[in-house]
C-alpha cells in the first residue's frame, strides 16, 4: 500500500526525523490558512501516488499565503499521469545547500533490509543507479542484529564532511531504520535529504510503501488509505476479498490463482486479444465471490467478453458453477461469457451450468481463443 | 528418489484442528504420507482423522520422531510456528500460510539457516514426491509417477503444467511450489540443485513469474551446474509495472523483474521458454531429443548470445554441435507468436 507524502512525513516526524513544518490542504482556503500560520514562503505540493510531480507542475513555490492560495487553486484538481490531485501539502520552503538520497528497501535476494545512500539526491534514484552507479552506497543490514551506529555513521560520511551534519544524518538513518520495521514498510525513502542554509539536515520529501501483509497489525497506517486515489473497481475488489488489477484490454478474466491469472492474461494477448483485468478469485470457492467478481468485470465498459478459467484443486468447480449461475440471475450479462472448469467436482459443475447454457472450452488455450472469437476481435 | 520429502518423511501438521489443517491432514494421509501428529495449543490429547494432536511441537516431536512439519496457522501466528518447529529440531518446514509479513520472514530466515533446517514457502502449495509423500495442498489426482521435476512460484498454474505433463504421458518425480512472496525460504536454485542431484529426476520444468530476480539467478546457476534438460514458463508478460499481481512478490518494481528480462536470461543459457503452460511437454520432448542439455562453456555461450558473432566465428566443428540448443530455442520463441501457431495448426 502506498501512502501520501504528508502521511509519510507524519510517520517520519513520529520517528524523530526532522521534516519542514506543514499541513495538508483540501482546498485553496485551507492552503491560505496553513501558509499564513507558517508565515514564511511555502511550497505547494500535489499529493498523488505517482512520481515526477515536480516535472508535471505539481510542486510550486509561493512567496506568501495569497500566492499559496492561487497555486493551490490550480494544483488541486489537476491531472498528473491520469490521477486527479485531491490534496496539496503546504510546507515551509527551505533554502537548499545540498541534496542527498537516503532509502531502505526490502531486498529479496539477501532477504535483508538494504540501506542505500547517495550524494546525488533530488533526482530519480533509478536514474542515478543507471548513469552513475558509483555514487550509490549500499549496506545490507543483518535483521537480527539490527543497524549499528557505526554502520549508519559510515554511510553518513558518504554524504557529509561536517561532523555535525554526519551526526544528524546518522540519527536520521537510525530513526529511518526503526520506522521501516515499526510500520511494516517495504520501502522508506528521503529524496532529497537536504542541508539548508542553517546547516540543518532535513527530510524534504518522504516516501513510504507498506507491505500489505503487515497491514493487519498497522491500524493507523491502514486508516491512511486514500480511497479517492485508487481505482474504484480495485477498491470494490479488495472489499470482496478479490485480487484485481484493472487493465485496458477488452477480455474480462476471472481465474483462480495469481500465477494462472497472469498466464491467462498472457495467452489472451498471445491469441490476439487484450486482457481487461487481472482477477484472482482466490483459493476458497465461495459462490458470492464469483458474483462480486462478475459484477466488477461487467462494470468495465471496455469488456466485450468474459472468460472464466478455473483449475479446481482446493477450489471446487461446483461452487464456482453455483456462483456463475447466481451471477447470471442477478446481473444478466449482455456480453458473451466463456467457461472452462476443470479439476475437482468438474462433472457436478457441468450439471449446474446446464441451466445457463454457456459456451465452454476444455483447455486453457481453447477458452482464451473462444473468448476472443466471441468478443468479435 | 525425490527431493525434500520421501517415504521417510514423518509429518506433523501445525494448525491441524483448523478448517484447512484438518481437511488437508486427511488428504495427505489418504495419499500415503506418514502424518504422525498434529499440533494445536489447547487441543492436546484429541484426534483429527485418527491423527494424535499435541499441545506443542516439542512434545509432538518427542512422541512421534517427526522430521517434517507443515504449517496451516493464520498469518499472525505463522512465523512463530516456524520458530517453534525449527527449535524443536524439525529440519524441513513447509509453510502454506498466505499473508505473512515480509519483515517477519526476514527475521525467521537466518534462524532457520543457523539451525540447518529448510523452509519451503510461505504462501506456497507445498510439494508432492509422486508415489511417496505429499505435503501441502496440491491435488494428488493430477500427478503421475515419472522423471520430470517441477518447480514453481505459483499454485494453480503449476497444476496446469503438471496436468499437461501427465496428459502427455510425462510423469513427475517431485512437484514443488516455492511460494509467491518476496521473502521465501527455498528458491529456484535450491530446487535446481536438488533436482540435479536426484537420480529419479531426468528433466526439469521451471515456472516463474514477474518480480524479483530469482529466475535470472536460476539461469546463471543452470549455466554453471545443471546438465539435465530444463524448460520454463514465465507468467506476467502482460502485467503492468508497479502493480502487485495477487502474489506479494509478483510486482515489477523500478523497471526490474519483467517477464521479458527473465525469458531473455533463460534463453541465453539454453532454456526454452514455452508460450503457454500447455506447450511445456512438447518443449521438453523436443529438448530431450538432444539428450543432455549441453553443458555450456563460457565461450560458446557468449557466441550463442549474439547472432552476428556466432555466424562470423562459426569455425570449429565441435562448436557446431553445441549450437543445437540455442537454435531450438529460437524455433520455440517464434512458435510463440500467434501467426506461427495458427499456421502450424493448419
Q: How far is B311 from chain A (nearest CA, A)?
A: 31
pLDDT band of B327, cuts 50, 70, 90: very low
pLDDT band of B335, cuts 50, 70, 90: very low
pLDDT at A185: 97
Query: What's the whole-number average pLDDT of chain A?
Result: 95
Phi-psi bin for B210: left (phi > 0), alpha (psi -120 to 50), beta?
Answer: beta
Q: Is B236:B244 a contact under the CB 8 Å cutoff?
A: no
Give whole-number Cα distances, A5 to A45, A165, A250, A373, in Å: 9, 24, 35, 46
CB atoms within 10 A of CB B241: 13
Q: Among residues of chain A, what percentage have pLDDT more than 70?
A: 99
The answer to whether the CB atoms of B239 and A265 lie below 8 A apart is yes
Q: Which of A94, A99, A189, A233 is catalytic?
A: A189
Distance, CA of B228 to chain centre: 16
pLDDT at A230: 83
pLDDT above 60 (res B326): no
Name the residue with higher pLDDT: A44 or A228. Answer: A44
Whole-number Å distance between alpha carbons of A122 and A129: 13
Q: Which fold has domain A231-374?
A: Rossmann fold (3.40.50)
Whole-number Å distance between alpha carbons of B191 and B151: 7
pLDDT above 90 (res B323): no
pLDDT above 50 (res A139): yes
pLDDT above 60 (res B302): no
Question: Who among B107, B238, B337 is closest to A265 (CB)?
Answer: B238
Residues of B in contact with A245 (CB under 8 A): 239-240, 243-245
Question: Which of A152-166, A352-366, B142-156, B201-215 shows the lowest per-residue confidence on average (mean pLDDT)?
Answer: A352-366
pLDDT above 70 (res B235): yes
Beta pairing, strands B10-14 & B68-71: parallel
Q: Is B199:B1 a contact under the CB 8 Å cutoff?
A: yes
- Mean pLDDT across the stretch A249-277? 97
Residues β-bridged to residue B13: B38, B70
pLDDT above 50 (res A341): yes
Whole-number Å distance between alpha carbons of B300 and B317: 12
Whole-number Å distance between alpha carbons of A167 and A165: 5
Q: Report the residue of A52, A131, A207, A213 to disrupt the B interface, i.e. the one with the largest count of B CBs within 10 Å.
A: A213
The answer to whether the CB atoms of B238 and A344 lie below 8 A apart is no
Whole-number Å distance between alpha carbons of B90 and B93: 7
The answer to whether the CB atoms of B101 and A213 lie below 8 A apart is yes
The answer to whether the CB atoms of A262 and B75 lie below 8 A apart is no
Instruction: Count Cα neighbours of A260 within 13 Å in the Cβ-side half-sphere.
Output: 29
Name the residue among B323, B332, B331, B283 with its Cα closest to residue B305. B323
Question: Which of A81-90, B31-40, B42-51 shows the lowest per-residue confidence on average (mean pLDDT)?
Answer: A81-90
First CA to last CA distance, chain B: 42
A275-321 pLDDT per residue, tens: 999 999 987 668 899 999 999 999 999 999 999 999 988 788 999 99
The answer to whether the CB atoms of B213 and A109 lie below 8 A apart is yes
pLDDT at B70: 98
pLDDT at B345: 38
Specify the 3-state DSSP secondary structure of A72. Answer: helix
pLDDT at B344: 39
Name the residue among A234, A215, A370 with its Cα closest to residue A292. A234
pLDDT above 90 (res B255): no
| Secondary-structure class of domain A21-93 per CATH | alpha beta
In sequence order, the 6+-apart residues with CB closer than 8 A to the CB of B223 are: B269, B270, B296, B301
- Mean pLDDT across the stretch B245-265? 92
- Mean pLDDT across the stretch B101-130? 97
Name the residue with higher pLDDT: B292 or A7. Answer: A7
Whole-number Å distance between alpha carbons of A34 and A28: 10
A20-56 pLDDT per residue, tens: 999 999 999 999 999 999 999 999 999 998 888 988 9
Query: What's the whole-number average pLDDT of chain B?
Result: 87
Whole-number Å distance between alpha carbons of A247 and A274: 9
Residues of A in contact with B240 (CB under 8 A): 245, 247
What are the extents of the domains in chain B?
1-122, 138-295, 296-345
Question: Who among B214, B246, B255 is closest to A261 (CB)?
Answer: B246
pLDDT at A286: 84
Taking CA–CA distances from A342, the nearest residue in chain B reads: B160
What are the extents of the domains in chain A?
1-19+95-229, 21-93, 231-374
- Mean pLDDT across the stretch A112-116? 97
Residues β-bridged to residue B176: B127, B151
Residues of A in contact with B107 (CB under 8 A): 143-144
Question: Who among B139, B217, B247 is closest to A258 (CB)?
Answer: B247
pLDDT above 90 (res A231): no
pLDDT at A122: 86
- Roughly what angle, to the nearest 10 degrees, separates helices A258-270 and A364-374? 50
pLDDT at B295: 52
Q: Report DSSP letters for B294-344, one per residue.
A: P---HHHHHHHH-HHHHHHH---HHHHHHTHHHHHHHHHHHHTSHHHHHHH
Q: Which of B24, B29, B153, B247 is catalytic?
A: B247
Whole-number Å distance between alpha carbons of B261 and B282: 23
The answer to whether the CB atoms of B250 and A258 lie below 8 A apart is yes
The domain A1-19+95-229 is placed in CATH, from the list 1.10.1040.10, 3.20.20.80, 3.30.470.20, 3.40.50.720, at 3.30.470.20
- Fold equal for B1-122 and B138-295: yes
Burial status of residue B260 (CB atoms within 10 A of its CB: 0-12, 13-18, 19 or more):
exposed
Q: Report the residue of A181, A258, A274 to disrupt the B interface, i.e. the one with the largest count of B CBs within 10 Å.
A: A258
pLDDT band of B294, cuts 50, 70, 90: low
Q: Is B69:B40 a contact under the CB 8 Å cutoff?
A: no
DSSP, res B239:
P
Specify the 3-state DSSP secondary structure of B120. Answer: strand
Q: How far is B154 from chain A (nearest CA, A)?
A: 5
- Mean pLDDT across the stretch A90-99? 97
A292: its cell numbers: 462480486
Place of cell 517434517: B68
Q: Report DSSP letters for A115-150, one per residue.
A: EEEES--SS-HHHHHHH-GGG-EEEE--TTT---HH
Taking CA–CA distances from A311, the nearest residue in chain B reads: B156
Place of cell 491432514: B25
pLDDT at A154: 98
Residues of A in contact with B102 (CB under 8 A): 106, 184, 186, 211, 213-214
Place of cell 502454506: B96
Residues of A in contact with B218 (CB under 8 A): none
Q: Is B71:B82 a contact under the CB 8 Å cutoff?
A: yes
**Residue A6 among the catalytic residues:** no
Q: How far is B317 from chain A (nearest CA, A)?
A: 38
pLDDT at B340: 39
Whole-number Å distance between alpha carbons of B272 and B172: 19
The CATH code of the domain at B138-295 is 3.40.50.261
Q: How far is A143 from chain B (nearest CA, A)?
A: 6
The CATH code of the domain at B1-122 is 3.40.50.720
Amino acid at each position: 500500500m502506498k501512502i501520501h507524502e504528508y502521511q509519510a512525513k507524519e510517520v517520519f516526524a513520529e520517528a524523530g526525523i526532522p521534516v519542514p513544518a506543514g499541513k495538508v490542504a483540501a482546498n485553496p482556503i485551507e492552503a491560505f490558512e496553513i501558509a499564513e500560520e507558517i508565515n514564511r514562503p511555502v511550497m505547494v505540493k500535489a499529493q498523488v501516488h505517482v512520481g515526477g510531480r515536480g516535472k508535471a507542475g505539481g510542486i510550486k513555490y509561493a512567496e506568501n499565503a495569497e500566492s499559496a492560495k492561487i497555486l493551490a487553486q490550480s494544483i488541486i484538481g489537476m491531472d498528473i499521469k491520469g490521477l486527479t490531485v485531491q490534496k496539496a501539502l503546504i510546507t515551509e520552503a527551505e533554502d537548499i545547500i545540498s541534496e542527498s538520497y537516503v532509502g531502505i528497501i526490502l531486498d529479496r535476494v539477501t532477504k535483508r533490509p538494504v540501506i542505500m545512500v547517495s550524494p546525488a539526491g533530488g533526482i530519480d534514484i533509478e536514474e542515478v543507479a543507471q548513469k552513475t552507479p558509483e555514487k550509490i552506497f549500499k549496506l545490507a543490514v543483518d535483521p537480527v542484529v539490527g543497524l549499528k551506529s557505526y554502520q549508519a555513521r559510515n554511510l553518513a560520511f558518504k554524504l557529509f564532511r561536517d561532523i555535525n551534519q554526519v551526526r544528524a544524518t546518522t540519527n536520521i538513518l537510525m530513526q529511518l531504520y526503526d520506522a521501516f520495521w515499526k510500520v511494516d514498510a517495504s520501502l522508506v525513502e528521503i529524496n532529497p535529504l537536504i542541508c539548508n542554509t542553517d546547516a540543518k539536515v532535513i527530510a524534504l520529501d518522504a516516501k513510504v510503501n507498506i507491505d500489505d501483509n503487515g497491514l493487519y497489525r498497522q491500524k493507523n497506517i491502514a486508516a491512511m488509505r486514500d480511497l479517492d486515489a485508487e481505482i474504484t473497481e480495485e477498491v470494490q475488489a479488495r472489499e470482496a476479498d478479490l485480487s484485481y488489477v484493472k487493465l485496458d484490454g477488452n477480455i474480462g478474466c476471472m481465474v483462480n490463482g495469481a500465477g494462472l491469472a497472469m498466464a491467462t492474461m498472457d495467452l489472451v494477448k498471445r491469441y490476439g486479444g487484450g486482457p481487461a483485468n487481472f482477477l484472482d478469485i482466490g483459493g476458497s470457492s465461495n459462490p458470492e465471490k464469483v458474483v462480486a467478481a462478475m459484477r466488477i468485470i461487467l462494470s468495465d465498459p471496455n469488456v466485450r467478453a468474459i472468460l472464466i478459467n478455473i483449475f479446481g484443486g482446493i477450489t471446487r468447480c461446483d461452487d464456482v458453477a453455483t456462483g456463475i449461475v447466481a451471477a447470471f440471475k442477478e446481473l444478466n450479462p449482455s456480453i458473451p461469457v466463456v467457461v472452462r472448469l476443470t479439476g475437482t467436482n468438474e462433472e457436478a459443475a457441468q450439471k449446474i451450468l446446464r441451466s445457463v447454457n454457456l459456451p465452454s472450452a476444455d483447455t486453457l488455450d481453447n477458452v482464451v481463443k473462444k473468448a476472443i472469437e466471441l468478443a468479435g476481435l | 528418489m525425490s527431493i525434500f520429502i520421501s517415504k521417510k518423511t514423518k509429518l506433523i501438521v501445525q494448525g491441524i484442528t483448523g478448517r484447512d489443517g484438518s481437511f488437508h491432514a486427511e488428504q495427505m494421509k489418504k495419499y500415503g504420507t506418514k502424518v504422525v501428529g498434529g499440533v494445536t495449543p489447547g487441543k492436546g490429547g484429541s484426534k483429527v482423522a485418527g491423527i494424535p494432536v499435541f499441545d506443542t511441537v516439542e512434545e509432538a516431536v518427542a512422541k512421534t520422531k517427526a522430521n517434517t512439519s507443515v504449517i496451516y496457522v493464520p498469518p499472525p501466528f505463522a512465523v512463530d510456528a516456524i520458530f517453534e518447529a525449527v527449535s524443536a529440531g524439525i529440519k524441513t518446514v513447509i509453510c502454506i500460510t498466505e499473508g505473512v509479513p515480509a519483515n517477519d520472514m526476514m527475521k525467521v530466515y537466518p534462524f532457520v539457516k543457523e539451525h540447518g533446517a529448510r523452509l519451503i514457502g510461505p504462501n506456497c502449495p507445498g510439494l508432492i514426491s509422486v508415489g511417496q509423500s505429499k505435503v501441502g495442498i496440491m491435488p494428488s489426482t493430477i500427478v503421475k509417477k515419472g522423471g520430470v521435476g517441477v518447480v514453481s512460484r505459483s499454485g494453480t498454474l503449476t497444476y496446469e503444467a503438471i496436468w499437461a505433463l501427465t496428459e502427455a504421458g510425462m510423469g513427475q518425480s517431485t512437484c514443488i511450489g516455492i511460494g509467491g512472496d518476496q521473502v521465501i525460504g527455498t528458491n529456484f536454485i535450491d530446487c535446481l540443485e536438488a533436482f540435479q542431484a536426484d537420480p529419479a529426476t531426468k528433466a526439469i520444468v521451471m515456472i516463474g513469474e514477474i518480480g524479483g530476480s530469482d529466475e535470472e539467478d536460476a539461469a546463471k546457476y543452470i549455466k554453471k551446474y545443471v546438465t539435465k534438460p530444463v524448460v520454463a514458463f514465465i507468467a506476467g508478460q502482460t502485467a503492468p509495472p508497479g502493480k502487485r499481481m495477487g502474489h506479494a512478490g509478483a510486482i515489477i518494481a523500478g523497471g526490474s523483474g519483467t517477464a521479458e528480462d527473465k525469458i531473455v536470461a533463460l534463453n541465453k543459457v539454453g532454456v526454452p521458454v514455452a508460450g503457454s503452460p500447455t506447450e511445456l511437454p512438447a518443449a521438453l520432448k523436443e529438448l530431450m531429443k538432444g539428450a543432455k542439455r549441453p553443458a555450456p562453456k563460457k565461450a560458446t555461450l557468449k557466441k550463442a548470445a549474439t547472432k552476428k558473432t556466432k555466424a562470423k566465428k562459426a569455425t570449429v566443428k565441435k562448436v557446431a554441435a553445441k549450437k543445437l540448443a540455442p537454435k531450438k530455442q529460437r524455433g520455440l520463441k517464434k512458435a510463440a507468436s500467434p501467426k506461427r501457431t495458427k499456421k502450424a495448426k493448419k
